[in-house]
Amino acid sequence: MTIENAKKAAGRAAADLIKNDMIVGLGTGSTANYFIEALSFRVKQGLYLKAVVPSSKRSHDLAKSLGLPAQDINQVPYIDITVDGADEIDPLKRMIKGGGGAHVREKILAVNSREMVVIIDETKLVSKVGVGKLPVEILFFGSPATRNALEKKGYFGKWRLNEDGSFFITENTNLTYDVVFDTPPLYPEQVHEEMIHIPGVIDTGFFFDIAGRVVVGYFDGHFEIQ
């Protein structure tokens, strides 16, 4: 009974939702990896996919290594379904994503899909988003000024760093500023709107009105679809 059991359960359950002839968006992260592996197993069993569209180099490399037909988003006419994880999700299906540094691409995939299926382990369920950090992707150019502008509005946090102390670089070669709230914001939609209007902010890790079905994996290995 571990968190890995929960992630595997969610990933495998989501793979069972995929149908023949689909174009599937692939998220990024440990739970998404379990989905990609389970999807590859289904393909080996006879499932036919027109394409998979990865949201990151990591997901692309894993998909290719497992024999999945990976294509760039600019090469496909549409996306049937995107399956991706979340760092937090509340009862209104508002999410925070970006722990893996790919949330801008993940959001583009998700909003251009007919459905986004969210796969999470039970620890990601929260009563209100903003319990943990909020990743904010920021352009290198003028990044100290952008951070100052965020702090003037009361949004404090830290630049995300690698283990060696260097700046963590997103999939779009930008910086990540991880904002930490004293308490979860009462109106996260307003927080998002305020942040994205600051020049230099590319996007936040808030996802609103995007999630469709939510597959929750539990430590004992069972899952629920909400």
Residue 106: active-site member: yes
List of the chain residues with pLDDT < 70? none
Assigned superfamily of 133-204: ACT domain (3.30.70.260)
Interatomic CA distance for residues 111 and 171, integer angstroms: 18
Catalytic residue among 4, 37, 88, 106: 106
Q: Are 120 and 32 in contact (CB under 8 A)?
A: no
Q: What does pLDDT average to over the chain?
A: 97
What span, in angstroms and rounded, lies between the C-alpha atoms of 73 and 95? Answer: 23
Instruction: Say which residue the tokens 């600019």 belong to.
Output: 74
Q: What is the pTM of this model?
A: 0.94
Helix (H) or strand (E) holding 47, with range, is none
Indicate the fold that domain 3-126+208-221 takes in CATH: Rossmann fold (3.40.50)
Per-residue model confidence (pLDDT) at position 9? 97
Domain with CATH 3.30.70.260 in the chain: 133-204
Task: Give the C-alpha distances (Å, rounded to integers) separating 43 from 125, 137, 223.
Answer: 30, 35, 22
What is the pLDDT, as a whole number, of residue 182? Answer: 96
DSSP state of 219: T
Which residue has tokens 């969210």?
118
Nearest one of 159, 198, 161, 149 to 179, comparing CA atoms: 159
What pLDDT does residue 146 have? 98
- End-to-end distance of the chain based on CA atoms, in angstroms? 22
What integer pLDDT is reported at residue 1 of this predicted model? 75
| Neighbouring C-beta atoms of residue 135, cutoff 10 Å | 28
Domain with CATH 3.40.50.1360 in the chain: 3-126+208-221
Task: Supply the DSSP string of 109-138, one letter for each residue.
Answer: HHHTEEEEEEEEEGGGB-SSS-SSEEEEEE
Ordered strands of the 201-204 beta sheet? 157-159, 175-180, 133-138, 201-204
